[in-house]
Amino acid sequence: MEICVVGAGYVGLTTAAVLADRGHTVFCTDVDTDKIAKLRKGIIPIYEPGLTELIKDNQQRDTLFFDTDSKKHMAHCPVIMIAVGTPSAKDGSADMKYVKHVITAIAETIRSYKTIIMKSTVPPGTADWVEEELQQRGTRPDLFDIVSNPEFLREGTAIEDTVHPDRIVIGAKRSEAAMKVQEMYASLQTTFLLTNRLEAELIKYASNAFLATKISFINEIARICDAYSADIMEVSQGIGLDERIGSRFLQAGLGYGGSCFPKDVNALDYVASSKGVKLDLLHAVKKINRSQIDIYLNKITHALGEWTEKPRIAVWGATFKENTDDIRYSQAIALMKKLTHRGYAVYAYDPLATPELPSVIWCSSPYVAVEQADVLVVATAWHSFLEADWHKVKTLMRRPVIVDGRNALDKKNLELHGFAYMGVGRP
Ligand SMILES: NC(=O)c1ccc[n+]([C@@H]2O[C@H](COP(=O)([O-])OP(=O)(O)OC[C@H]3O[C@@H](n4cnc5c(N)ncnc54)[C@H](O)[C@@H]3O)[C@@H](O)[C@H]2O)c1
């Protein structure tokens, strides 16, 4: 198939590369001229393991092309996939301005039949709205189908998730359109869930809301563990062994961040309240996630005790999770802001990200960051942090105190090295 993927971000790039690799001819377009210029030269603007090789291979095989001219490729490709951003607006709703631009461009170019796939995460009712919008702009209804096909990949493992998805959800009005999209994914061995568009749109929001709930749930249980001096690691292992619950997303820590969970929980809350539905559970999920940072701050303040000289805090990690360069809604950054606000000197290191933050000093290595530090906070579970030279870290720090923001470090090993270790729910 000839496919035009609109939006060369984390989702668009990965999906375009995998579809090209699976035998389709893919034209991936973006309004960002710099991004497209880089991609054409084989420079990948984001960090995603394995993506550079996959893109370059398919560029060389002439199956993957990058362009700024979306309209040109929308006009000739029978399949258009929309993968633009849907960030949070100020009121918590999904900001649909990028999707609207794409719909306008489709309306202006459409001359032959198109299967329009909505890959972006969009509020329930969007497919119906797009259909009406295109018709109001004079597009004949027989010239297109809108298919909702939400994406579930995780940054850091995006290619693996795209090649081996748990399921592919296809929401369509007409079965012919659903079959066309299923055919596009024919090379992927997975379960296909064919449903209606509204349900497909809701599946995406409900999935992210559920995962966020799991994280806030385990963080709340960690608070009880802290009160009893019980170990959340044992508790979460015991819970996770129950197949009805499952072990994933049961890691207590700084809470969830990233470009999806916070915005999608907010967007779901927004659409629910617009229908008069109050989401008590999700309000609690958000509240727990916000206060998780304060729990860490209090632990750090407690560890510092009375001080005369300005405390120096080393923070390892800025991205919202390991194996990505994405810092959107990163809890690590939210913590750094609060630490500087409290008057602490913050020396930070991340393998990929050095965002400009007032009063945060970025260091050239994790070891430079810990020099003379009173506390080391591991805010992102990068593998290199977990495997650090702890002997070296201990000799460099002023006081050997480690706060584990992801409950990911080997507590026993750190204690053997002479560190005072603090996580959440770790006695
Ligand atoms: N990032 C994830 O892990 C993830 C996972 C599942 C679903 N999603 C959803 O997928 C969608 C895309 O997310 P992302 O993280 O890839 O976003 P992103 O911000 O990384 O990329 C979006 C891209 O779209 C481009 N764009 C904006 N308007 C355009 C237009 N009119 N024409 C062409 N390009 C345009 C932007 O320049 C940008 O490069 C969002 O709705 C998101 O919620 C993301």
Dump pLDDT digits (tens) for 134-162. 999 999 999 999 999 999 999 999 999 99
Q: How far, in Å, is the centroid of ligand 1 from the Cα of 215?
A: 24
Which stretches of 166-309 are assigned E, i.e. beta strand?
167-171, 191-195
Tens digits of per-residue pLDDT, 49-107? 999 999 999 999 999 999 999 999 999 999 999 999 999 999 999 999 999 999 999 99
Cα–Cα distance between 3 and 324 in angstroms, integer? 27
CB of 74 shorter than 6 A to ligand 1: no
CATH dotted code for 2-195:
3.40.50.720
State residue 307's pLDDT score.
82
Give the model confidence (pLDDT) of 344-398 as tens digits.
Answer: 999 999 999 999 999 999 999 999 999 999 999 999 999 999 999 999 999 999 9
pLDDT value of residue 123: 98
Confidence (pLDDT) at 380: 98
Catalytic residue among 4, 28, 225, 260, which?
260
Q: What is the pLDDT of residue 112?
A: 97
Tokens found for residue 245: 């619950």
Q: Where are the domains of the chain?
A: 2-195, 211-422
If pLDDT is split at 50, 70 and 90, which confidence band does 419 have? very high
Q: Does 123 contact ligand 1 (Cβ within 6 A)?
A: no
15-51 residue pLDDT tens: 999 999 999 999 999 999 999 999 999 999 999 999 9
Cβ-Cβ contacts under 8 Å for 71 (sequence gap 6 or more): 105, 108, 109
Mutate to test the pocket of ligand 1, among 11, 38, 256 (most ligand atoms within 8 A of CB): 11
| Residue 384, pLDDT score | 97
In DSSP terms, 362 is beta-bridged to: 348
35 is in an annotated binding site: yes
Same fold, 2-195 and 211-422: yes
Atom from ligand 1 closest to the CA of residue 32:
37
pLDDT score for 308: 81
CA of 6 to the centre of ligand 1 (A): 9
Q: Is the pLDDT of residue 306 over 90?
A: no
pTM listed for this prediction: 0.96
Q: Count Cβ atoms below 10 Å from residue 360 Cβ, excluding itself.
A: 19
- Residues in a beta bridge with 29: 6, 67
- Identify whether 260 is a catalytic site residue: yes
Mean pLDDT value across residues 122-128: 98
Across the beta sheet with 312-316, what order do the strands follow? 360-362, 345-349, 312-316, 375-378, 401-404, 420-422
pLDDT tens-digit profile of 234-249?
999 999 999 999 999 9
SS3 of the chain: helix, strand, coil, percent, to 5 = 45, 15, 40
Give tens-digit pLDDT for 168-207: 999 999 999 999 999 999 999 999 999 999 999 999 999 9
The residue among 258, 360, 257 whose CA lies nearest residue 314 is 360
Q: How far is CA 85 from CA 45, 77, 88, 118, 230, in A?
A: 16, 21, 10, 11, 42
Whether CATH 3.10.180.10 fits 211-422 = no
